[in-house]
């Protein structure tokens, strides 16, 4: 479950915007492909989306860019499907010891139709 707008996020965390939501996973054994899929409610689409890669020993958001550039575009791919309200991060042969994640900025307000 994610907060879908700033009002809801403020109720949960109490500090000022901007607010971000996200999800992450760290493979614990060798795999061929790691995939993270986030599907939003119909009509909802975050504008500020990014993928992150960081070592298990670091805090998320610190040094992410340096880690991601070491992975080729064939190895790490962020797909945005606005029609299906879906984000998908695909990682081929993810190195162990890293976490992979998606994050997005919450819009000020959102109402389902």
Residues 92 and 75 sit within 8 Å (Cβ to Cβ)? yes
pLDDT in tens, 38-57: 999 888 898 789 888 888 77
pLDDT at 25: 92
Higher pLDDT, 70 or 9: 9
Mean pLDDT of 65-72: 61
pLDDT in tens, 14-33: 777 787 888 999 999 999 99
pLDDT at 68: 61
- Tell me which residue has tokens 């901007």: 18
Structure-token pair, residue 51: 């993928």
Chain-centroid distance of CA 36 in Å reads 8
Confidence check: pLDDT of 70 > 60: yes
pLDDT at 86: 95
Residues near 78 by Cβ (< 8 Å), separated by ≥ 6? 49, 50, 51, 87, 88, 89, 102
Helix, strand or coil for residue 11? helix
pLDDT at 44: 87
pLDDT at 52: 85
How far apart, in whole angstroms, are the C-alpha atoms of residue 25 and residue 28? 9
Give pTM, 2 decimals.
0.77
């Amino acid at each position: 479950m994610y907060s879908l707008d700033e009002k809801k996020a403020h109720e949960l965390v109490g500090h000022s915007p901007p607010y971000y939501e996200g999800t992450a996973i760290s493979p614990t054994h060798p795999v061929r492909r790691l995939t993270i899929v986030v599907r939003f409610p119909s009509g909802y689409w975050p504008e500020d989306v990014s993928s992150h890669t960081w070592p298990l020993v670091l805090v998320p958001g610190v040094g992410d860019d340096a880690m991601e550039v070491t992975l080729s575009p064939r190895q790490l791919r962020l797909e945005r499907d606005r029609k299906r309200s879906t984000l998908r991060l695909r990682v081929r042969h993810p190195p162990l010891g890293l976490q992979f994640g998606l994050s997005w900025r919450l819009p000020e307000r959102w109402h389902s139709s």
